């Protein structure tokens, strides 16, 4: 049973030091209240609740959830404008330091941490070793961060929740709405965070549980500090930062309502946050025009946040890969990614090394990797396997079945043809599959529509000549739409399967482009136009 403090409390503060779980807190006005999520009746510590035994005013009462509406004790401050105004995506800061901080929040202890002078740190060299980014954990959320000791840092990492990476990305999105984010603050409420994370649809969580979770997630990115040694790049001069906090948590405002006994119930939170000094160098519009700083941003898909929140427990490896690919595809979606790289991101270097030595661990990690790849594929991040290093016999079964027709008769014919061949789709993987996977590559990922626009944002940053602009306009006009593909296919009497065979693609690929799930690359556009006679 949890407890609450009535309005008869004199504020003597005798009970707070006695609480073994730290549930008794001081609100913004100086009054005491008990967090019902942390209060456990002193179970496992004492035979009776300590707050009840030491209170001389009989102000401690059994907690009951507040029913109905009561008057609001204080009005809430105005928050910053909503993100995702188009319902799909929002710009966000995508500098290398934000990427590495996102990796830290997602991969946590899986990263190669180093012990230096009694503290732990994660380092990433940049620009071919000319620069260095060092991330650490602070021992508090104050204005002057002090690196946490090794033991404290490891405890913080143990308690970290991968969902905090979603808050980190939301902060990066809010930073782009400000003219000078290293000086200006943004204000965000628990109601906004609930909507962004989809927690408003979680009817299984009580209000106190949601607020406690939101507070923990909001605070987690603010533990990070960064030291940056950035080399001269073009006209942008070299610069350095030392142990600078990534996000400053300026203030947390608690909002209460009173019940009939004048017991206060926490009903809301408001957070005031400011970007760290990194933003002056990587998110500076004015100096970017003068070519003395950067303004690096990408597009944050709303669907990505929802997906991370829904799969983080069952498919953490897929969640890690999604967060990494969000920044990777901004650099260039055509860049190849090796399977070992994706495995290290999803499961950590230690587990991959263990799989190299133990057969059972190899089987487990391959199963997990193929399942996590299927999550990405279902979401719309469809991998394009390298036909040379990633041949069909070592690909996941779900990718082999991508061409399975929807029509029952065609599906029967599909399986009859498969069974009559020398090899079958369901044949066991060849010996040495693990060694083959260690050399396999994924050429690219087909991007969902709300991801594709991020490349459009980067094009806006480049100056184009009139001739190039006209060429671009002609190219966009010649792009096939999904409706044009469907109408052209039906006009010449082709099924999706027949079109897929002629285009050298799978039926699921044809189905996805006709449904508009992703945009078609120029070379595939040319093939389709030739096959469809356009």
Residue 329 is predicted with a pLDDT of 75
Average pLDDT over residues 275-287: 94
**Average of pLDDT values for 370-384?**
92
What average pLDDT does this structure show over 476-485? 72
In this predicted structure, what is the pLDDT of residue 412?
A: 79
- Look-up: residue for tokens 């910053």? 80
Element containing residue 527 per DSSP (H, E): helix 522-532
Domains and CATH numbers, the chain: 1-64 (3.30.70.20), 89-315 (no CATH), 332-409+432-451 (no CATH), 482-532 (1.10.260.40)
Give the per-residue pLDDT at 190. 94
More confident residue, 2 or 401: 401
Residue 456 CA to residue 468 CA, distance in Å, equals 15
The tens digit of pLDDT for each residue in 234-256 reads 889 999 999 999 999 999 988 88
97 contacts 294 by C-beta, under 8 angstroms: no
Mean pLDDT of 401-425: 73
Query: What share of the chain in percent tops pLDDT 90?
Result: 44
Range with the lowest mean pLDDT among 123-137, 160-174, 365-379, 396-410? 396-410
Half-sphere exposure of residue 146, counting CA atoms within 13 Å on the CB side? 5
| pLDDT tens per residue, range 76-89 | 889 999 999 988 89
Q: Tell me: pLDDT of 477 over 60.
A: no
Contact 405, 414 (CB under 8 A): yes
All residues at 6 or more sequence positions from 476 whose CB lies less than 8 Å from its CB, including other chains: none
Query: Residue 521 — very low, low, confident or very high, per pLDDT cuts 50/70/90?
Result: confident
Higher pLDDT: 430 or 103? It is 103
Nearest one of 253, 311, 278 to 75, comparing CA atoms: 253
Q: Which of 257-261, 297-301, 348-352, 518-522 is least confident?
A: 257-261
Closest of 305, 215, 204 to residue 253, by C-alpha? 215
Q: What's the confidence (pLDDT) of residue 331?
A: 54
User: Which one, of 473, 510, 478, 517, lies nearest residue 495 by Cα?
Assistant: 510
Are 330 and 454 in contact by the 8 Å Cβ rule? The answer is yes
Task: Answer whether residue 269 shows pLDDT above 70.
Answer: yes
The DSSP symbol for 504 reads T
Give pLDDT, residue 13.
82
- pLDDT tier at 461 (50, 70, 90 boundaries)? very low
List, for residues 157-195, the tens digit of each pLDDT value: 999 999 999 999 999 999 999 999 999 999 999 999 999
Dump the DSSP string for 256-292.
EEE-TT--EEEEEEEEEEEE-TTHHHHB-HHHHHTTS
The share of the chain scoring above pLDDT 70, in percent, equals 89
pLDDT of residue 431: 85
Give the residue, 208 or 339, on which the prediction is more confident: 339
Of 326, 245, 248, 232, give the one whose Cα is nearest residue 278.
245
Question: How far apart, in whole angstroms, are the C-alpha atoms of residue 507 and residue 223?
Answer: 48
Q: What is the mean pLDDT of the chain?
A: 84
Residue 529's pLDDT band, with cuts at 50, 70 and 90, is confident
> Residues 312-327: what's their mean pLDDT?
94
Contact between 89 and 453 under an 8 Å Cβ cutoff? The reply is: yes
pLDDT in the model for residue 503: 82
Alpha-carbon distance 275 to 229, whole Å? 18
CB 136 within 8 A of CB 120: yes
Of the pLDDT bands very low, low, confident and very high (cuts 50, 70, 90), residue 110 is: very high
* Span of 44-48, 126-130, 151-155, 529-533 with lowest mean pLDDT: 44-48
Grade residue 66 by pLDDT with cuts at 50, 70 and 90. low
Residue 482 has pLDDT above 60, yes or no: yes
Q: Mean pLDDT throughout 341-363? A: 93
Confidence of residue 23 (pLDDT cuts 50, 70, 90): confident
pLDDT at residue 333, rounded to an integer: 46
Higher-pLDDT residue of 38, 66 = 38
Look at residue 439 in the predicted model and tell me its pLDDT. 93
Copy the structure tokens of residue 514. 């006709």
pTM: 0.77
Distance of CA 41 to the CA centre of its chain: 36
pLDDT score of 462: 47
Residues near 268 by beta carbon (within 8 Å), at least 6 away in sequence: 76, 189, 190, 191, 211, 254, 255
Q: What mean pLDDT is predicted for residues 136-150?
A: 87
Residue 458 confidence (pLDDT): 44
How far are the Cα atoms of 49, 50, 212, 256 from residue 73, in angstroms, in the given order? 28, 28, 20, 6
Predicted pLDDT of residue 83: 93
Quote the pLDDT of residue 6: 75
Residue 392 has pLDDT above 70, yes or no: yes
pLDDT of the residue at 262? 65
In this prediction, residue 118 has a pLDDT band, given cuts at 50, 70 and 90, of confident
Q: Which residue has the higher pLDDT, 285 or 425?
A: 285
Two tokens, residue 7? 């309005």
Who wins on pLDDT, 272 or 465?
A: 272
As given in the structure block, the two tokens for residue 345 are 């991101």
What pLDDT does 260 receive? 67
Question: Token pair for residue 503?
Answer: 């285009």
Q: What is the CA radius of gyration of the chain?
A: 27
Give residue 143's pLDDT: 77
């Amino acid at each position: 049973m949890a407890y609450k403090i009535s309005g008869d409390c004199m504020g003597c503060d005798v009970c707070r030091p006695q609480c073994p779980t730290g549930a008794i807190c001081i609100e913004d006005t100086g009054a005491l209240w008990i967090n019902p999520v942390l209060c456990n009746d002193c179970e496992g510590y004492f035979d009776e609740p300590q707050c009840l035994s030491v209170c001389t005013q009989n102000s401690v009462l059994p907690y009951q959830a507040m029913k109905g509406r009561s008057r609001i004790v204080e009005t809430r401050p105005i928050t910053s404008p909503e993100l995702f105004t188009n319902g799909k995506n929002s710009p966000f800061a995508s500098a290398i330091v934000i990427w590495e901080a996102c990796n830290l929040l997602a991969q946590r202890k899986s990263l190669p941490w180093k012990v230096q002078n009694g503290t732990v740190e994660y380092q990433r060299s940049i620009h071919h070793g000319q620069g260095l980014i060092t991330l650490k954990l602070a021992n508090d959320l104050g204005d002057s961060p002090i690196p946490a000791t090794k033991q404290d840092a490891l405890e913080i990492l143990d308690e970290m929740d991968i969902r905090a990476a979603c808050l980190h990305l939301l902060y990066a999105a809010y930073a782009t709405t400000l003219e000078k984010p290293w000086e200006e603050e943004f204000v965000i409420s628990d109601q906004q965070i609930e909507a962004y994370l989809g927690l408003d649809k979680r009817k299984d969580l009580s209000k106190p549980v949601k607020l406690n979770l939101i507070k923990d997630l909001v605070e987690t990115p603010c533990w990070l500090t960064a030291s940056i040694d950035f080399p001269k790049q073009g006209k942008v001069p070299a610069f350095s930062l030392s142990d600078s906090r990534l996000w400053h948590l300026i203030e947390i405002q608690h909002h209460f309502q009173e019940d009939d006994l004048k017991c206060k119930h926490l009903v809301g939170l408001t957070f005031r946050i400011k970007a760290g000094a990194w933003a002056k160098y990587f998110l500076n519009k004015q100096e970017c025009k003068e070519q003395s700083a950067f303004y690096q941003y990408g597009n944050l898909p709303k669907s990505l946040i929802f997906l991370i929140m829904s799969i983080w427990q069952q498919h953490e490896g897929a969640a890690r890969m999604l967060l990494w690919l969000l920044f990777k595809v901004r650099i260039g979606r055509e860049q190849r990614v090796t399977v070992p790289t994706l495995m290290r991101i999803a499961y950590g270097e230690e587990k991959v090394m263990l799989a190299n030595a133990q057969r059972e661990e190899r089987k487990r990690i391959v199963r997990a990797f193929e399942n996590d790849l299927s999550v990405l594929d279902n979401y719309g991040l469809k991998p394009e396997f390298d036909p040379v290093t990633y041949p069909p016999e070592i690909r996941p079964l779900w990718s082999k079945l991508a061409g399975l027709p929807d029509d029952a008769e065609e599906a029967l014919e599909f399986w009859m043809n498969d069974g009559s061949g020398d090899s079958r789709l369901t044949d066991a993987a060849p010996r040495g599959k693990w060694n083959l996977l260690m050399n396999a590559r994924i050429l690219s990922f087909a991007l969902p529509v709300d991801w594709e626009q991020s490349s459009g944002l980067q094009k806006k940053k480049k100056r184009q000549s009139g001739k190039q602009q006209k060429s671009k306009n002609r190219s966009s006009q010649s792009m096939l739409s999904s409706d044009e593909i469907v109408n052209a296919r039906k006009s010449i009497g082709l099924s999706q399967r027949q079109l897929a065979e002629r285009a050298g693609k799978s039926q699921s690929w044809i189905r996805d482009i006709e449904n508009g799930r992703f945009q078609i690359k120029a070379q595939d556009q040319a093939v389709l136009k030739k096959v469809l006679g356009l």
